[in-house]
Structure 1
């Protein structure tokens, strides 16, 4: 793959024209699969599109270029009492990447996904045409670009809403649950009283699938001005690749047992900085080394409300029976707010994410079985996390794929899009 690095908005078009093969806009490359790769083509880095254009404190609307990272926004605006309306599990994502993947986070049940906070953006097509896109202006292109994996054009700038906060802290509760039924009870009772929810699940503990349900709200805790700053660079690092025995079934079961039982009380309350609450892995440099030299695959699905309990039970039964034990499992209930994009991942229902050590074809075959369960219940797989989904599963996941393909820029492509049947 070649790399194009235009230094400003005005140089993006000429950069695309300068090469003869396909191009893919790329932010900070945090997608786990190949949606941010373009084998035998070019990547167009947006890291130099990093200017802030303006902010309206009356409405909370921020306008900036697409290469600005969420980390940069937090550093600038948290001390001023503002936060992102929607944030994924890492702050090392660009605004353009957040739009292209329509990212979601712990607040989905209350705020929706990133596209729901978006007012408008400017899109550059490879033929040089530029479009202002919003729900009212070029709405088709707007819906295709939100969640469109960077395939409809290059986002030059975007305008989206921040939200006010009292400070950088989160009042958090961690509640232990003993089975999936208890998870759903906690989720239902937390919808209206908590801004943020997510659960860690010990899916190797047996049919019950115990776990810890985490929920929180922005805190009014007052501290000296120094504490309002966004956290700085990480001081922790993973200096070596984890040996294979740490990723074995017995080791994962031991880790899960300790993690669950180290919390002695049913409910643990704490007040913590937003950084470890929203971005725990950002605090560990080279955290991917925890999965050894072969790395890992994350499999993330969304299941509609109807059948969510049955589908989840079947998936967890497969995991318990299977030889591939996930090192990390997270579970969350999505809200009802409709997503903006044709290929947006969130739907009303649940989302389950499983992190597996990469064992190659053996793991791929196992994940194919999980895909079939998801398809049977009308669910979908998350493209931003995918590295092996078959074309049939992709088309089954997204009913708007034919409509979307009409908006794809003919000069843009990705390894992911070609793998799942695109051009």
Structure 2
């Protein structure tokens, strides 16, 4: 049942090697949990080491991906933790229902969405994923136990956003949201600079809002980009685009400064100056990069790091300073995102806060680690926090201070997993289970 394998996070800059089991039934998972307690992972879409356990055992949950039950009267669906969220969206959207929160990739599993309390392009409207979970089943020492946000609030809040430290997430009940169909009306418009972008986000009334930022732009163009605003609708679905793939690791020069600047200029100009509105299948605006299989190979064999932070509304100028530092570094990739977030969060270690979140990818090359360290310090000074699902380089003490409910989480986790069998590489690196 156990196989020795090597695996990595989506950024590919960090990897692990160890024994991995891949159970297909709940009974097999129960036996594993009793004999060899181990942390679990899904599709390995966390960018850093959140799902890695180098040198130790781990459980691959991707075969436990079934729908258990759906109640059309309440919209509550019960699914196993290994189900990809994109599959759930495609399954229900045509029937008038949709997961309220969709992260940036449809390959993220339900278990991963819970463990990281993910957010989507509509966080300012509906909050985080965990706020729509009505029940979680955990495997703890070979026994399946159920938890709800009202009757067992402490352990529920320690599990949602809790990085899998309370036990293996087996299944969950999620309250789906009624929707008009499986299409989206998408409006795109150019934004010429930082101040205009913040103003556009503040005044957007769309359900789904996200901004692409040109992280190489400087001077008067600093913070320029494209604002996307979407609303779900019904209609005749156009022909589905065939997925493409990146077959090999890209060469080092593919993301050199001149290439990235040229790409960003072309990408910015692809939207007409007057803007445009189109109708697309919902998967395209929800998961734009899923249409390119293995897109992480574009960063070469050394991989990449993503830095994502959120800062309070009043500290938006800190993000402008970060963008200036990033643009001057020459290290940014074409992938940079800006969103406005609401206050919604469901767990002690949930990432969201009301404010603005910036995410930027950097190839894992000389200078990237130092730059990300500087950005982390700037986030701390701005009373913000970094996102565990994207992190690979942060240091422990500074990050723990960003999460004021860490102490409550630690108490609950220490009780649920006293032997620290669920500890992963990220938890060790950030020393999150330490009482000091």
Shared fold per TM-score greater than 0.5:
yes
Question: What per-residue deviation string (whole Å, max 9, x for no partner) do you get for residues 360-398 of structure 1?
Answer: 5x2111111111110001111100111111012221221
- Counterparts in 2 of 1:236-275, with a 5 A limit? 236-275=244-283
Deviation at 1:51, TM superposition (A): 2.6
**Paired position in structure 2 for 1:194:** 206
**Paired position in structure 2 for 1:339:** 345
The answer (yes or no) to whether the contact 1:120–1:159 under 8 Å persists in 2 is yes
Give the number of equivalent residue pairs: 409
**Paired position in structure 2 for 1:175:** 189
**Paired position in structure 2 for 1:418:** 428
The answer (yes or no) to whether the contact 2:23–2:29 under 8 Å persists in 1 is yes
**Paired position in structure 2 for 1:108:** 123
The answer (yes or no) to whether the contact 2:197–2:223 under 8 Å persists in 1 is no
- Cα separation, partners in 2 of 1:271 and 1:228, compared to 1, 3 Å: closer
Q: 2:298 aligns with which of 283, 286, 290?
A: 290
CA distance in 2 between counterparts of 1:11 and 1:137 reads 28
The TM-score normalised by the length of structure 1 is 0.93
Q: 1:40 aligns with which of 51, 55, 60?
A: 55
- Cα separation, partners in 2 of 1:236 and 1:323, compared to 1, 3 Å: closer
**Paired position in structure 2 for 1:9:** 26
Question: What per-residue deviation string (whole Å, max 9, x for no partner) do you get for residues 116-147 of structure 1?
Answer: 11111122223x45432112111100000000
Q: 1:146 aligns with which of 155, 160, 174?
A: 160
CA distance in 2 between counterparts of 1:237 and 1:291 reads 14
The answer (yes or no) to whether the contact 1:327–1:356 under 8 Å persists in 2 is no
**Paired position in structure 2 for 1:315:** 322
**Paired position in structure 1 for 2:9:** none
**Paired position in structure 1 for 2:177:** 163
Deviation at 1:7, TM superposition (A): 2.4
**Paired position in structure 1 for 2:12:** none
SS in 1 for 2:165: coil
Q: Give unmatched runs, 5+ long, in structure 2.
A: 1-17
The answer (yes or no) to whether the contact 2:189–2:272 under 8 Å persists in 1 is no
Deviation at 1:18, TM superposition (A): 2.7
Deviation at 1:421, TM superposition (A): 0.9
**Paired position in structure 1 for 2:7:** none
- Counterparts in 2 of 1:34-73, with a 5 A limit? 34-73=49-88
The answer (yes or no) to whether the contact 1:131–1:138 under 8 Å persists in 2 is no
Question: What per-residue deviation string (whole Å, max 9, x for no partner) do you get for residues 97-126 of structure 1?
Answer: 110011111011111110111111122223
Q: 2:243 aligns with which of 217, 235, 241?
A: 235
Q: Give unmatched runs, 5+ long, in structure 1.
A: none
Q: 1:213 aligns with which of 227, 236, 244?
A: 227
Question: What per-residue deviation string (whole Å, max 9, x for no partner) do you get for residues 189-244 of structure 1?
Answer: 21xx3110000011221143211111010123x32xxx499x69x53111222222
Task: Report whether the alignment pairs 1:83 with 2:98.
Answer: yes
Q: 2:368 aligns with which of 363, 378, 383?
A: 363
Question: What per-residue deviation string (whole Å, max 9, x for no partner) do you get for residues 300-338 of structure 1?
Answer: 001112212x111110111122242333111000013x3
The TM-score normalised by the length of structure 2 is 0.90
- Cα separation, partners in 2 of 1:228 and 1:270, compared to 1, 3 Å: closer
Task: Report whether the alignment pairs 1:328 with 2:343.
Answer: no
The answer (yes or no) to whether the contact 2:189–2:271 under 8 Å persists in 1 is no
Q: 2:307 aligns with which of 299, 303, 309?
A: 299
CA distance in 1 between counterparts of 2:402 and 2:124 reads 21
- When the two chains are superposed, the root-mean-square deviation of aligned CA atoms in Å is 1.8
CA distance in 2 between counterparts of 1:203 and 1:45 reads 36
